[in-house]
Structures are given as structure tokens and as C-alpha cells.
Structure 1
Amino acid sequence: MTTESLRTATPSAAELDAADRLGAYRDRFVGSDDPSVLAYLDGNSLGRPPRSLPEKYAAFIRDQWGGRLIRGWDESWLELPLLLGDRIGRETLGAAPGQTVVADSTTVSLYKLVRTALELNAGRTEIVIDSGNFPTDRFVVEGIAHETGASIRWVHADPASGVTAADLEPVLGPDTAVVLLSHIAYRSGYVADIAGITALAHSHGALVVWDLCHSVGSVPIELDAWDVDFATGCTYKYLNGGPGSPAFLYVKTSLIGEARQPIWGWMGDHAPFDMADGYRPAESIRRFISGTPPVLGMLAMSEMLDLIAEVGIAAVREKSLQLTDYAIALYDERLAPLGVELSTPRDHAVRGSHVTFDHPAFRDMMGVLWNRGIIPDFRAPSGIRIGLSPLSTSFAEVEITIDAVQGLLTGVATEA
């Protein structure tokens, strides 16, 4: 098949954008009409702010912080981590109320959950994690092992995909206390089989912590149905909470009563305003809160949750797959002949909402692309990762990016 026939077979970005029933949602985000940014394909690292946010923040500062002052804590702010946690659970996690709370960063949440799992599985001494996991996950586990004397069992999976049950089985045993894995591999976009892997770990008596950073808000998740023990994820990617917005963590209902997280704080006490001499954890998921809730950092994600509720996570997933399908079709047509490697699965069932291409020239190419207003991501050693945030990304942005990469690889100046 010739390049020309492939080009004819692939729909144009204009055709796809015209047929996109979610295309109008792009106008709901700040910067979608900024002429200096031709293509923003890094929404899986930092989502665009919803256009409703400036007024929401202004109203909060004027009416709540400025108007209610300290009274705001009693009136709503103290409950916000639980209320927002339930919303995240309902709209994106498949989690019943009372199991999800918003607090801290993903790093701190991972620490809390892995330490909690170790204590719940007292007598077992091994933590299982894959060598291709995000550095934060690996570093947290290494720190916990150093702190507690636990051992680490490493899973070495295919870097072009991610961890499967077959990869995990050989390292599980009677000493396995907890398994920490990512739902979607941060580099390849591979979607792990949460239900199957969790069931396998449980059959060996282990607990499982799932990192949902690259899946929450982009793919359907069913934590309750999948019998997940613990999970956490950030909110500044597909939940558009803004830089540094707090993470969420999930604990299965049946574990909350016996779970004792390691960072005891005033806000997680059963009666914080009693100012008691000794710590007694709250009976609810509140026991996983340690410090003062970051109220300002919670405001933005509530706007994105409104949009997800309006659209439905199934429609978000459908658009995500259409975008990634288009990126791969353009890769086949324009980048594969230039020696670029596709490092993301083609199969819908195991592909998330980002696509990674590898080529030795890509590291030096990133600065040129950013200067042109074309903003993908880079993942070492040689990957350009394009994050396709379904409600704020157009098909035109995908084509602009692929064409620019093609032009730079061939030495042809691409008109944006």
C-alpha cells in the first residue's frame, strides 16, 4: 500500500473534529483559543483549567474566605475532603460513599497506604513492585523498605507494555504483604488488568495498592466491583485540579475499621476539637487525613467532575480511543517510515489515553516543538508522549503534532 493510499484512507483532522460530538467541550477550557499554543498534548501531566474557574475562585475569595472567614471551617471546609472524595468515587472510581478522601500528595498517599497494608499483613515482609513503575512509586517503596526492614521483590515486565498476571505470579508467595502497581503504565500507556491481578494477589494472601494517576478521569474504573483494597491518584491530570492539587486515596470499606495509617494527625482524630491527650483514629475514612485540608486546591477539580458527570465516563473513554486511534494511524502513515517506534499497545482493551513514540532524535526535538507552541511530553530515554485529554483535545492538535515531528525528522520546515 502506498503512502498516498494510506493518506487517503485516514480521515482528516477537520473531518474528525466536525463529527466529534464532544468537540464543543474544548471551549469550556481556558487557553483552548490561545493562538500561541497550536497543540497542547500534555493534558496527562497537567490538564487545562476549566473556563468557569476564575469566577469560582473569585466567588470563593469574596463570599467564603472573605465573607465567612474562620466560620467557613465549621460550615463546609472540614467536610470537603470527604464530600469531594465521594464525588471522585462516584464519577470516576466506581466507589460507594465513605471510601475515598482527598488529602496530601500522591507520594504521601502511597506511603500511607503501603505502610497500612504492611501493618495489616503483619508477619509478611515483602513488598512487590515492578521495575518500570513511576519513580515516585519505586522510591516510596525503597524508603519504606529502608525504614521497616521489609524486602522488595521486583517484577520485570516488558517495558513496551506493563505488568500482567503472568509477570506477577512467580514473585508472589507466603511472605508477600503488599503489591503496588500502576493501573496505566506512565510511559507506554498499557492498561493493567486490575480485577485479575488483584484476585491473583488475594489468592496468595497479599493486599494490593493501585496507582490510578494516569487512569482516573480518562478510563472507566470499578474499584468496588474489582475488590480493590487500596488506591490513590493525583488530580491535576485528567481531573484538571491544577498544579499541585491534592491527591485522593481509596480504602475498601471492610478494611477501614482495622486500618491504621502511619501519619497520625489532628484532623484524622475521632474528635479533633476535644484536644485530647492521645490519638484515637476516626471510625471513618477520615482517619486517613493527617493535616489541614487544602481547600483552595480542591476547588478546581470539582468543576471538572461536573463536566465528567455531564458527559459520562463512557463517552470520555470513547473519545480517548478515537484520539489515540488517530494518533496511531498518523504514526503508521507518516512516522513509521522514518524509523520511529510505536511504544504503546494498539489493542483498545490495554491502551490508555496517551501514546508514546520513540526515536533517538526526540530528546533534542522537544525544545523546538515547545518553541513553536506544540507541547507534547518527553519520557526518557527517547520517547515523545502525547497525552490526549478527551474533553479538551482536538484531532487537529494531534495532526499538527505528528506533522511537525515528521517535518523535523525529514528536515522539512513544517508550516503550523
Structure 2
Amino acid sequence: MARARQLDADDPLAAYRGHFIGAESSLSYLDGNSLGRPLKRTRDDISRFIEESWGGRLIRGWDEEWLDLPQAIGDQLGRAVLGAAAGQVTIADSTTVVLYKLIRAALAASTGPGRNEIVLDTENFPTDRYLVEGIAKEQGLTLRWITPDAAAGVTLEEVRAVTGPATAVVVLSHVAYRSGHLADLRGITEAVHDAGALVVWDLCHSAGSVEIGLDASQVDFAAGCTYKYLNGGPGSPAFAYVNARHLPGLAQPIWGWMGRKDAFEMAAGYEAAPGIRGFLSGTPTVLAMIPMRGMVDLIEEAGIESVRRKSSLLTAFAVELYDSWLAPRGAQLSTPRDPDQRGSHITVDHPAFREMTSVLWERDIIPDFRAPHGLRIGLSPLSTSFSELYDGMAAIRQLVDG
């Protein structure tokens, strides 16, 4: 415990933990990669919105602020978290719907005869796989599967091996949802482009915990949720990124009134709004966007580089505790050991973990279980302390011992 306390004492971001509800409790929350803690300011932000903006301005709020929120928050998210210049990010819909829009738009933008294949991997999050399977069926396309090491993730070499003249779109996750493997976003994007194809990245497990650099890597399209490391709350809306070079003339498949040019004209026929606004469909979920602004403010203040440094230190400490406590008890690390090749969570497998998870939750130790027998230790850099991690891992060790 002395080492954990020293790491906390040396942590330049330690004070940020005080911004989160519940962080002062004895609970060990090791699932920030599934749902982030709420910010204390969120109570005031939502209350103020209800009293002043919604309750005070009523319908006038749409003209005065609300219609611009998806792009305003999107621009800040791009600047502070994604490495994306203004005008390329918007907040809209769920991750599933956003990914559907982006994949269909990427297919429409893919050029060249004979490009009838979508590349994806067997270890990607189920939504991504289901979506691509459905799109391939409705569009008459062929799937090319990558089967990566389940304890690692998709490699540059594997992408190069399956892409070529028939590839239209490649759909991958930046951080693997189970293993935590951090893909080579820049290298893989370049390889996809070398094959003449386009790439759609899922950033759900990386946005807010690692540096991304979408513009610098010339990424085509990306999507991600906001309820993990961006602390937007359960079901908070996702974001869409479209590189500016693709925006002119790009078509997305879900035509709704809010994505139309001059939405309030209510005219016949659909003409997409210019730029990233054209990726909206229905009415923006204004109330659900309020909580994420506070977290984006914090990340921008701390700096995503500093957030990433703490993420690496947290996962390194988790691996250190695994080596000392869980490996000798038959557990298996299913996450890359190199901190540069993992995101902000690790996965440890043991046959006893399925039954143990409910017991841990009852004792206020909250990791995440992933079948068949993996515990994900998710570490949200601004809200998780080293002592909290130590306590949680100690409780896991104790239960394994019986």
C-alpha cells in the first residue's frame, strides 16, 4: 500500500479526482472503461439548464443555443481529445447508429471498380461486427475477416495481408474492447490508403484516455461513445468524425429533418446541410449533451498528453499487482505488456472470475466481467487513484484465495 500512496502523492493529476461524485468513498471503481463517474459540476449544469435554459428560455433555446450544441461540443471534443480541427466532429445518435451512417457513407465514397469487400476482425465489439454483417448483406458485399490474437489485437501486418484491389472499407477499433490492445492507428490507416480503401475507426475505448490524432493520421471516419472516459452518463450520445476532405458531396443514409439544409423550412425533398451538420438526422438530445461538456473541459485543462501518461502508469501498476498477486494463483494476463500497445484497461482471465464478480460488486469492488472468464480492470485517469486500484486488486486476490 505504501507504493500506491507514493504514486498518488507523485501524481500531478491527483487533484482532479475531487471533481467526481463518489470518488471520496471507499468503493473501488475499476470499470471506468464502461461507464465513467459523474462530475460534481454535472448536478449544477443540469439544474441550471432546467431552470434557466429550458425553463427560462423555453422554445427560444433552439434558436439561441441548442441547435448549435452538436457542432460546438463536437469542435471542443475534436480539439481537446481527438486531434481534429473544427468542423469535422458532431454529436449525434448512439454509437451503433453513427457507425452505420459512417460505414455506409464510406462505402458510397469508395472509388474504383471491383471494390466489394469490407474488412473487419473477429475480436471487435459485437455492434461493429453485427453492423458490418448487416450492411454487407443489404449491399451484396463480401466480408474479409481478420482473426487476431485474442490477448492482443489487430496488427498492421494483418491488415496489409487482407487489403487490396477489392477492399472498399476497413472497420476496426482503436482499443480492443476485451484485451485493451492499442492498434497502430497511423500505420494501419496508411496501409488502408495504400490499398486504395477507406477506414472507419471505433474510438469507444480510446477517446478520453489516449492520444488519438485523427487529422495527423489522415483518418477518414471515426465514431465513439461519450459515457466511458468522457463521462457523459448512461446512454449519452455518440460522436461522428468525418475528415474534411470527404465532406463535400458526401452522403449519409439516414435522412432526417435536422440534417437538411435549412431544417425549419420544412420543404419537400431532402437536400443535405453542408459540412458535418449533414450527418445529423433527428432532433439533437440536448439534455444528454450537457454532462459531457464538463469532462471535455477537464481533459482540455489537464491536457490529453498528461491524461495518457497517467493511464500508462495506472495500467503498469495494475500489471505489477497482477504479476505479484494473481499470476501465482493461476490467472492469465490477456493484455499486451508494453504500455504503448494498450489503452486504459487490462484484462485478467481466471476460471473463478465469473462467480466472483457478483461477490466483488456486493463488496463495493467494481470491475467488469467479459465471458468466458475475464475481468477487465478499467482505469479512468482523472478519476481513478492508485490506492483505489490497489484496494480493488487486493480484494480480487483475497477472493481467488478463497
Range class of TM-score, shorter chain = over 0.9
What's 1:59 paired with? 48
Q: C-alpha offsets along residues 215-274 of structure 1, whole Å, 9 cap, x if unaligned?
A: 000001110010000000000000000000000000010100121000011111111122
Within the candidate set 347, 350, 364, 1:373 is matched to 364
1:262 aligned onto 2:253:
yes
Which stretches of structure 1, 4 residues or more, deviate above 4 A after TM superposition? none
How much does 1:336 deviate? 0.8
Give the match's secondary structure for 1:209: strand
1:220 aligned onto 2:211:
yes
Q: Partners of 2:8 and 2:157 in 1: how far apart?
A: 40
User: Unaligned stretches of 5+ in structure 2?
Assistant: none
TM-score w.r.t. length of structure 1: 0.95
Q: Partners of 1:403 and 1:144 in 2: how far apart?
A: 45
Within the candidate set 42, 58, 78, 2:67 is matched to 78
What's 1:121 paired with? 110
Q: C-alpha offsets along residues 106-139 of structure 1, whole Å, 9 cap, x if unaligned?
A: 1001100111111112542111100100001000
What's 2:390 paired with? 399
Q: C-alpha offsets along residues 188-230 of structure 1, whole Å, 9 cap, x if unaligned?
A: 1111011111111111111000000000000011100100000
Q: Partners of 2:249 and 2:349 in 1: how far apart?
A: 46
Give the match's secondary structure for 1:12: helix
What's 2:33 paired with? 44
Q: C-alpha offsets along residues 15-40 of structure 1, whole Å, 9 cap, x if unaligned?
A: 222222211111100111234xx200
Q: C-alpha offsets along residues 26-63 of structure 1, whole Å, 9 cap, x if unaligned?
A: 1100111234xx20010110000011111111110000
- Percent of paired sites with the same residue: 60
Q: Partners of 2:334 and 2:181 in 1: how far apart?
A: 9
- Report if the CA contact (8 A) 2:315-2:339 is conserved: no
Q: C-alpha offsets along residues 281-331 of structure 1, whole Å, 9 cap, x if unaligned?
A: 111110000000000110001000111111111111111111111111111
1:177 aligned onto 2:172:
no
How much does 1:397 deviate? 1.4
1:89 aligned onto 2:78:
yes
What's 1:112 paired with? 101
How much does 1:72 deviate? 0.2
Q: Partners of 1:117 and 1:56 in 2: how far apart?
A: 37
- Report if the CA contact (8 A) 2:31-2:366 is conserved: yes
Within the candidate set 321, 346, 350, 1:355 is matched to 346
What's 2:90 paired with? 101
How much does 1:11 deviate? 5.6
Q: Partners of 2:166 and 2:62 in 1: how far apart?
A: 44
TM-score w.r.t. length of structure 2: 0.98
What's 2:187 paired with? 196
| Residue identity matched to 1:346 | R
> Which runs of structure 2 are paired with 1:17-36 in the superposition (5 Å)?
17-35=8-26
Q: Once structures 1 and 2 are overlaid, which stretch shifts more, 276-285 or 117-126?
A: 117-126
Change (3 A) 1:405 1:58: same
1:144 aligned onto 2:135:
yes
Within the candidate set 334, 346, 350, 1:343 is matched to 334
Q: Partners of 1:328 and 1:170 in 2: how far apart?
A: 32
> Which runs of structure 2 are paired with 1:2-21 in the superposition (5 Å)?
12-21=3-12
Equivalent residues, number: 400
Q: Partners of 1:28 and 1:250 in 2: how far apart?
A: 28
Pairwise CA RMSD: 1.1
Q: Partners of 2:200 and 2:71 in 1: how far apart?
A: 20
